[in-house]
Amino acid sequence: MRAVDVLVVGAGPAGCVAAWEAAAAGAGDVLLIERDRAIGAPVRCAEGVGSAGLREFLNPDGADWVSRRISRVILIAPDDTQVALAPGDVGYVLDRTRFEPVLAEEAARAGATIRISTEAVGIERADGAGGGRWRVRLRGPGGEETVGARVVIGADGVETMIGRWAGLETRVAARDMESCAQYVVGNIAFDPDAIYLHFGPTVAPGGYAWIFPKGVGVANVGLGVVTLRGDGRTVRQYLDDYIARHFPGGTVIGLTVGGVISGVTVKRTVADGVILAGDAAHMINPLSGGGIVNAMKAGRLAGRHAARAIREGDTSARNLQAYHDEWMRLLGDAHQKYYRLKETINKFDDAFLNGLARTANRIPDEKRSLGRVIGSALVHHPSLLPIAAQLFL
């Protein structure tokens, strides 16, 4: 049986960065496995990331894994009123088929071994002298084999099995699961330097619709819907209706469906010899649905703590708890506030959101930052004050 120090399951952003960081921090033998045939594909994502978070890991300037640099955000009310925020260094729309391979190459350069077409299909605990190990059954092109690991990092995404197998509670309540559908649409007119976020219970109940440019005239156009809040249409029907209304002449050249967890971090992200990172631990921003940079930040912490625990010769849940605590301080606690805020915003009807948009458009174009939009909304709609207070509770 092959034995490694750290086995990372899943080569998405969380897993690639976890393997990169664990190897760089001297964790020893680090193995990263991915069940798909290519790292980064298929893409189930709108691929938008904020500039500052991305730059903590890689330099996007001139990179071939960037589809588009974004300098503007345009919010859209249910009645199609647009609120353009003042331009700035907003972020990027990635090409994830190229982005994740670059992260994986960094992991390999740091010393990790990478295997594609290899799926973890079961794990069991083997206790022994000097702390326990996990025996992980892998299925790959050469058949089945078992690998021993001192720490398993479960970076296996929304449908994580590592968490369940390790006894961690990772089920998602229906009210916290957004069903998403997205087309890549060509031959459409929009500002290729802007991302568009379209809100309203009739547009996308419990979520929002997005237009994220992949180039001039071509964009990821999608939406996320909490089915429980919907009117009986499937998410694909919501999207088809959206495209018919806004881009009737567009050419659909790709379809993606997937789930986004819009809840908060699971209560326990660690077990003896196990750390969950990224979507597997529900570490997505519940307001925006953004999870790429969060997954990378969690992966970085997971890799570091795995290396530390191995150095200390103590991979128990008690010692790994420092990972959970650090994540909660970094973003997990903030997500709980965003979650409460999202729950309240979800109660707004179309008329109220249309009113907010008109108020925001009274701010001069060049001064219309998100902060000012929120400030002006509070002044003109005092009923929002209790909601704003939630951010500080």
Ligand X SMILES: Cc1cc2nc3c(=O)[nH]c(=O)nc-3n(C[C@H](O)[C@H](O)[C@H](O)COP(=O)(O)OP(=O)(O)OC[C@H]3O[C@@H](n4cnc5c(N)ncnc54)[C@H](O)[C@@H]3O)c2cc1C
- Residues 176-205 vs ligand X: string with x where CB under 6 A? ----x-x-----------------------
CA distances from 373 to 91, 288, 291, 366, 389 (A): 20, 17, 24, 12, 16
Q: Which of 200, 205, 206, 222 binds ligand X (CB under 6 A)?
A: 222
Q: Which stretch binds ligand X (CB under 6 A): 167-175, 237-245, 289-297, 322-330?
A: 289-297
Is residue 11 involved in binding ligand X (CB under 6 A)?
yes
228 vs 175: CA distance, rounded Å: 6
CA distances from 12 to 49, 96, 102, 151, 296 (A): 15, 9, 11, 18, 9
91-94 and 66-70: which strand pairing? antiparallel
Q: CB count, 10 Å around CB of 173? A: 9
Instruction: Indicate the helix (H) or strand (E) that contains 115.
Output: strand 113-115
Closest residue to ligand X: CB criterion: 291
As measured in angstroms, the least distance from the Cβ of 358 to ligand X is: 28
Is residue 90 involved in binding ligand X (CB under 6 A)?
no
CB 309 within 8 A of CB 322: no
As measured in angstroms, the least distance from the Cβ of 371 to ligand X is: 22
Q: Residue length, the chain?
A: 393
Is residue 279 involved in binding ligand X (CB under 6 A)?
yes
Is residue 82 involved in binding ligand X (CB under 6 A)?
no
CB 242 within 8 A of CB 225: no
As measured in angstroms, the least distance from the Cβ of 159 to ligand X is: 7
Is residue 10 involved in binding ligand X (CB under 6 A)?
yes
Smaller CB separation from ligand X, 302 or 310: 302
Contacts for 329 with CB less than 8 Å, ≥ 6 apart: none
Q: Which of 46, 149, 151, 373 binds ligand X (CB under 6 A)?
A: 46
Smaller CB separation from ligand X, 95 or 279: 279
Smaller CB separation from ligand X, 4 or 49: 49
Smaller CB separation from ligand X, 137 or 340: 137
Contacts for 225 with CB less than 8 Å, ≥ 6 apart: 178, 179, 180, 204, 205, 206, 207, 235, 238
Is residue 384 involved in binding ligand X (CB under 6 A)?
no
Smaller CB separation from ligand X, 284 or 384: 284
As measured in angstroms, the least distance from the Cβ of 225 to ligand X is: 11
Is residue 45 involved in binding ligand X (CB under 6 A)?
yes
As measured in angstroms, the least distance from the Cβ of 329 to ligand X is: 20
Smaller CB separation from ligand X, 48 or 78: 48
Tokens of 236: 């694909």
Instruction: Indicate the helix (H) or strand (E) that contains 17.
Output: helix 13-24
Helix (H, G, I), strand (E, B) or coil at 278: helix
Of the CA atoms within 13 Å of residue 162, those in its CB half-sphere come to 34
Contacts for 85 with CB less than 8 Å, ≥ 6 apart: 72, 73, 74, 75, 368, 369, 370, 373
Is residue 213 involved in binding ligand X (CB under 6 A)?
no
| CA proximity to 152, closest of 172, 132, 169, 170 | 132
As measured in angstroms, the least distance from the Cβ of 16 to ligand X is: 8
Is residue 101 involved in binding ligand X (CB under 6 A)?
no
Tokens of 234: 């499937």
| Residue count, binding to ligand X (CB under 6 A) | 37
Q: Which of 44, 125, 233, 381 binds ligand X (CB under 6 A)?
A: 44
Query: Residue 391: beta bridge partners?
Result: none
Q: Which of 29, 105, 119, 326 binds ligand X (CB under 6 A)?
A: 119
Q: Which of 5, 47, 176, 272 binds ligand X (CB under 6 A)?
A: 47
Query: Residue 94: beta bridge partners?
Result: 66
As measured in angstroms, the least distance from the Cβ of 102 to ligand X is: 14
CB 303 within 8 A of CB 22: yes
Q: Which of 83, 110, 112, 120 binds ligand X (CB under 6 A)?
A: 120
Q: Which positions touch ligand X (CB under 6 A)?
A: 9-15, 33-36, 44-49, 119-120, 155-157, 161, 180, 182, 222, 256, 258, 260, 278-280, 284, 290-292, 295
